[in-house]
Amino acid sequence: MKQQFEKWEAACAVADFDDEEMLECRAGERQVLLVRLGDRIVACPAMCPHLEERLAFGFADGNVLTCSKHLWQWDLNTGDPLGPAEKRLPVAAVRIEGGKILVDTAPLTCSDD
């Protein structure tokens, strides 16, 4: 189902993410994880939907994000669980404006779990 609304919030300066593959930061009221996917960036919640491990401790390979604790994995293009993962990971769009990374936090607040 198509998302009905957007809520763009500043997360960090573009320069803070220059050399990073992943970066945990705050966007509005929530902690998010920015992940570089080739030439674009996506955002997801900072904490794993399984048992609240910080996803920044995990790793990204291509479009797959892996939690370090029990190795749940997700497709970062869709948020769909892969392998043994039992829950979706909401994934949010990111855009760059005025030297800042903005995150559309709306998908992060309306989980369909």
Binding residues with ligand FES: total (CB under 6 A): 8
- The answer to whether 83 contacts ligand FES (rule: CB under 6 A) is no
| Residues 29-68 contacting ligand FES, CB under 6 A | 48, 50-51, 53, 67
In the bound state with ligand FES, the residue whose beta carbon lies nearer, of 71 and 96, is: 71
Tokens of 24: 């945990």
> Could you tell me which of 88, 97, 110 has the C-alpha nearest to residue 41?
97
| Minimum distance, C-beta of residue 52 to ligand FES, in the bound complex (Å) | 6
| Three-state SS at 33 | strand
Of 31, 22, 88, give the one whose Cα is nearest residue 60. 22
Q: What is the DSSP letter of 58?
A: S
Least distance to ligand FES from the beta carbon of 106, Å? 24
